[in-house]
Structure 1
Amino acid sequence: MILGNLLQQFYNIADTLIVGQFLGANALAAVGSAYSLMIFLTSVLLGLCMGSGAIFSLQYGAGDREALKRSIFVSLVLIGLVTLVLNVAVFVWIDPILRLLQVPEDVYPLMRDYLWVIFWGLGFTFIYNYYASLLRAIGNSVVPLWFLGVAVVLNIALDLIFILWCDWGVKGAAWATVIAQAVSGVGLCVYTIRKFPEFRIRREDMCMKWQTVREIAVYSSLTCAQQSVMNFGILMVQGLINSFGVAVMAAFAAAVKIDSFAYMPVQDFGNAFSTFIAQNFGAGQMKRIRDGIRVAVVSATIFCVFISLLVFAFARPLMLIFVPVHETEIISIGVQYLRIEGAFYCGIGCLFLLYGFYRGIRKPGMSVVLTVISLGTRVALAYALSAIPAIGVVGIWWSIPIGWFLADIVGLWYYRRLFSRVTRSGILKSV
């Protein structure tokens, strides 16, 4: 899962790297700002797929194959409809969205051109994440990785062809991404249907039983809310960043790719932890849950400390991957961001584990609460601190780790309160 989502990051990272090096600061700012919007839209679909995946894990762990197939059909229909509505909406409201994000006039046409093409790949994003969640729910995380690896290589190759040879500009980067997404999504769908006949939907499985619909809708919508609220907060901060001009936009565009790439493994560790907890919770394996919690905390902490040290020490060389050496202002702003936020990855690592744990024990609502605390703090502090002339844009950078740690405190407090009601011999029995 970690390798798969690291590869998935290459979709936009490849666009950002090639655009930043060959098309200039305005194009870098356009593609980077579009990334925040696309992450928000993708998070809605990813959250729905992750929520369904947790249900799949619980039913697979309990050995209820009939319920699993009904859930596959119901979730496919529900998330497919959401994808269709979302896709139509973004095409219709693309200009109001860009105005809401306060995109500067010299970046506006480039960002609009990029997004108009990228939006055509939203359906393929849904297909890939849906079948990846299904396979991961049954413990198969290798196959999604292979399909994604092929798509990433294709994306990079097409970026170079469309931008350097065909001279299509930012549209070329967008088309490269859409084509790569189509290959990974359709390919994984065909593979799953052919290789796992036990998951093929029969006519008798095509029933929208209220209990199944309710379970999928509630669980998926809560996980979706947790994912989308998190990224909606980032989108609101993106609008604030855009108001500081092209240099800050370009610096943030490059730095946030490094940032996302750095802590993405621990995010996926949290997702894998959620699947582990859900499968064992469904199977009633409480000792394995206790052991898993201990291993997860130690592993995530070691990883976060190691990555924080690397990002802090190599902030400038990392920025130079995306930004030409003569863009000194952009590089300086990006290094400042990375050294502030990168020093506190343990905060986000703990938060991802808490998200995964509460999803796994059928309490996804708590994940939403923690997300609201984290993002609400970040947005409020970002706007408040950046408005002080002596602090400025640095206040936006500091608001991020502060939000993480406040959410961690609440999540750990609730964890202790939850287990104070559980007997020593029956952990999670009363959850």
Structure 2
Amino acid sequence: MKELIRPKDLTAGRPLPVLLSYSLPMFAGMFFQQAYNLADSWIAGNHIGSLSLGAVGTCYPVTVLYIAVASGLGIGTSIYCSQQFGSGGHQNVKDAVSTALLCFIPCSVFLMLLGLFACPHILTWLSVPEEALLPTRQYLFIYTAGLPFLFLYNISTGVLNGLGNSGTPLIFLIFSSFMNIILDLVLVLFIPLGISGLALATLLSQAASSLATLFAVKKLCRRLGGEEHSSFSLPILREILRLAVPSIVQHVFMSTGQLALQNIINGYGVITMTGYSIAFRINGLYVNSLMALSNALSGFIAQNKGAGKQGRIRQGYRLCLILGGCFTSAVVFLMLADGPAVLSFFVSPDPDKTEIIDAGMGFVRIVVPFYFLVCLKIVTDGALRGIGRMNAFMMSSISDVMVRLLLGDLFSRHWGINGVWWIWPAAWAVGTAVCCVSYRRADGNKAAYKMSAKKPAEKP
């Protein structure tokens, strides 16, 4: 364990092996993280009932909203730590850890209390069908209670990833994923808590992984040298927030757009809601897997920006586009060739199974062929984050969301549920165009690859 918990320099060595060794643990970690989300859906659909499966799916956009804030703060902390580590600012890294924990964990407690109070109002706004209201409320309430652990995990993982150590979070996440699945089975099959058992299993496994990751961060900080004790720094907080807020705004806007569409979809009834929730979970697995590659690219670029290696940044971007394109091709082929078999895995035999799968496949057939657009957008977003062009990154996501908000009801009224599905390709097309133009402009501007003169100075 002592040799495992150490930083890694991403500014030296051939870019492809470095990127692969750095990104594969993050990719695997995202897979395991999504695996226990899929396990929730499988257990809900096969051992509790399709109504609970629909409830879990309905909560998903709300939980993504929570994750948006937590992951945004983690990304901001990660990019700052990457840049400082790449330029040799080790004491700034240690101070950033203390600053992030002292500020963001109390924020998570406030958000938890706000979320618990707002739960009934959120479900009313989502137009959740009456028969699905109780299980949806139970799941969302317990999930919200675990927000402090979610924040702690994202911040700690952000620090480790920012210092090039993507292997340690993977180990803890694998342990957490298996723990979650085992608890799912115990709390549903042996202690019949129903959908509350699924949410409680997520809370407990998140608590375990977050505390273990925090322990790893503390050990890694001691390896950086410098002063024995780190301290709170207002300049560092401002810099972390400068990097984090655009990412938070992006994810919040995305979640808001998704919530607006969820409201429309719920109006088509429980069968459509359930079929969509299954298909959207598969969609989430793909998108979040690409996000792992994007986050790896951000860390790679941020360290190389700190070291002033512009050519290496461009190489990393091109390599990630190739890797993402290969992964996307495999996913598109699988879902279009055998999508019904994939979706049926999550639905127990019942009279509505065929209708539920048909509803999910309506989403798949329209949305999945446009995954190549998603790949280009997510990888380019990672590049923009890495070089610190957070406003451009944010604008690409806001444009995506505006399409969802403006066209959702219009498309639904004119083309029914298929019109709703077409919102995804339309939004992706606009967002991808904005982020690619922004990256091309940044790539032609040498100043974009220079470290800010406003970075906090090292302590004497």
Q: Same fold (TM over 0.5)?
A: yes
Match of 1:381 in 2: 407
CA distance in 2, matches of 1:199, 1:119: 35
Gap change, CA 1:419 and 1:169, over 3 Å in 2: closer
Match of 1:245 in 2: 269
The aligned length equals 425
CA distance in 1, matches of 2:220, 2:397: 37
CA contact (8 A) 1:6 1:265 kept: yes
Secondary structure of the structure 2 residue equivalent to 1:249? helix
- How far apart are residue 203 of structure 1 and its match? 8.0
Residue 137 of structure 2 corresponds to residue 112 of structure 1: yes
Q: 1:136 aligns with which of 140, 156, 161?
A: 161
- How far apart are residue 325 of structure 1 and its match? 4.3
Gap change, CA 1:240 and 1:54, over 3 Å in 2: same
Residue 142 of structure 2 corresponds to residue 99 of structure 1: no
Matching of residues 150-229 of structure 1 within 5 Å: 150-194=175-219, 196-198=221-223, 205-209=230-234, 211-229=235-253
- How far apart are residue 323 of structure 1 and its match? 1.2
Residue 434 of structure 2 corresponds to residue 406 of structure 1: no
Q: 1:232 aligns with which of 225, 242, 256?
A: 256
CA distance in 1, matches of 2:303, 2:42: 39
CA contact (8 A) 2:180 2:205 kept: yes
CA contact (8 A) 1:14 1:156 kept: yes
Matching of residues 223-372 of structure 1 within 5 Å: 223-326=247-350, 327-372=353-398
- How far apart are residue 195 of structure 1 and its match? 5.2
Gap change, CA 1:199 and 1:247, over 3 Å in 2: farther
Gap change, CA 1:403 and 1:201, over 3 Å in 2: farther
Q: Which digits, 9 at most, give the CA deviation of each residue in 1:145-180, with x for residues without a partner? A: 111111111111111111111111111111111111
Report which stretch shifted further, 259-268 or 342-351: 259-268
- How far apart are residue 379 of structure 1 and its match? 2.9
What amino acid is the match of 2:271? A
What amino acid is the match of 1:4? G
Q: 1:4 aligns with which of 13, 18, 29?
A: 29
CA distance in 2, matches of 1:202, 1:78: 21
CA distance in 1, matches of 2:250, 2:145: 25
Match of 2:67 in 1: 42
Gap change, CA 1:245 and 1:286, over 3 Å in 2: same
Matching of residues 21-40 of structure 1 within 5 Å: 21-40=46-65
Q: What 5-or-longer segments of structure 1 have no aligned partner?
A: none
What amino acid is the match of 2:69? V
CA distance in 2, matches of 1:185, 1:397: 36
Gap change, CA 1:245 and 1:73, over 3 Å in 2: same
CA contact (8 A) 2:94 2:221 kept: no
Q: Which digits, 9 at most, give the CA deviation of each residue in 1:283-339, with x for residues without a partner? A: 101121121122122222222122111111121011111113441111101011112
Secondary structure of the structure 1 residue equivalent to 2:345? helix
Identity across matched positions, percent: 30
Gap change, CA 1:301 and 1:58, over 3 Å in 2: same
Match of 1:71 in 2: 96
Gap change, CA 1:273 and 1:195, over 3 Å in 2: closer
Match of 2:3 in 1: none
Gap change, CA 1:72 and 1:255, over 3 Å in 2: same
Provide TM-score, normalisation by structure 2: 0.88
Secondary structure of the structure 2 residue equivalent to 1:91? helix
What amino acid is the match of 2:295? N
CA distance in 2, matches of 1:39, 1:200: 37
Gap change, CA 1:202 and 1:113, over 3 Å in 2: farther
Secondary structure of the structure 2 residue equivalent to 1:387? helix
Provide TM-score, normalisation by structure 1: 0.94
CA distance in 2, matches of 1:61, 1:252: 43
CA contact (8 A) 1:51 1:224 kept: no
What amino acid is the match of 1:304? T
| RMSD between aligned residues | 2.0
Secondary structure of the structure 2 residue equivalent to 1:206? coil
Match of 1:415 in 2: 439
Match of 2:81 in 1: 56
Q: Which digits, 9 at most, give the CA deviation of each residue in 1:166-200, with x for residues without a partner? A: 11111111111111111111122123324542469
Gap change, CA 1:160 and 1:184, over 3 Å in 2: same
- How far apart are residue 202 of structure 1 and its match? 6.7
Q: Which digits, 9 at most, give the CA deviation of each residue in 1:253-304, with x for residues without a partner? A: 1111111112322221111111111110111011211211221222222221
CA contact (8 A) 1:5 1:264 kept: yes
What amino acid is the match of 1:321? F
- How far apart are residue 385 of structure 1 and its match? 0.5
